Amino acid sequence: MDPTEARSAVHDLLSRMVADRLVVGSAGNASVRIDETTIVVSAGGRAVHHLSPDDHPVVDLATGGATGGLAPTSELALHLAVMRAFPEVGAVVHTHSPYAAGWSVARLDLDFVCNENIGPAGERILVTDPYAPPGTAALAEATVATLRRQPGSRACLLANHGPLAVGPTPEVAYTVAQQVEWIAQVTFVARSVGHVHVIPPADQDAIGTTYGFTVARVTDHR
Ligand SMILES: [Zn+2]
């Protein structure tokens, strides 16, 4: 993807987050990979309607140095860490969508309960542990560690904060972010009206076979 295309993609992701009510104000951020050495990260501190695609800086993955545009998001370390750790990831979407954020505050994992779990592709959407404040290297480290606990999964919840979704393309990563919010809402409703029935692992695998993916499972049962 060329830098212009990547900047437009980042801008579209931010615009969609606001339109879909996954964030308020200048919250939420995104990154899109240009190539193996550079990414575009969303500009920080301003609501998307005060930004243009050219405001989103190009960032060197090795050094973290930004060129062009405005200063990067305060979550630069988070985007750099995920992009460095997972070369197959083409885009990272971080929102504060309310139901998923609520589960992150309760620090409860989200189980495989419905068709939308196809997007996150994991047996569970795990919460980062320990808690780390926004914008810190500790949060970046906890996030990578959480995604690694369930290799192949495309989402996690940042404790007391909100969801993070990844994908090979911006479109996929964004859809996963929407699906995480959907799962959180559906699970909340199920808990309110009755018992949450988790789809058994064998049936999760059957769903994976039908839709062409392998269900990621936790490898370190701590
Ligand atoms: Zn955030």
Structure tokens at 116: 């939308």
Tens of pLDDT, residue by residue over 116-161, are 999 999 999 999 999 999 999 999 999 999 999 999 999 999 999 9
CATH of domain 3-211: 3.40.225.10
| Ligand 1 centroid from CA 68, angstroms | 23
How far is C-alpha 179 from the chain's CA centre? Answer: 11
Å from CA of 205 to ligand 1 middle: 32
| Ligand 1 geometric centre to CA of 133 (Å) | 10
Domain ranges within the chain, ordered by starting residue = 3-211
Q: Would you call 141 a catalytic residue per the annotation?
A: no
Measure the CA–CA gap between 21 and 164, rounded to whole angstroms.
15
Q: Ligand 1 centre and the CA of 61: distance in Å?
A: 20
Active-site entry in 75, 116, 123, 181: 75
Is the backbone peptide bond immediately before 130 cis, with ω within 30 degrees of 0? yes
pTM passes above 0.85: yes
State the pLDDT at residue 221: 76
Q: Say how far apart CA 90 and CA 92 lie, in whole Å.
A: 7
Whether residue 205 has pLDDT greater than 80: yes
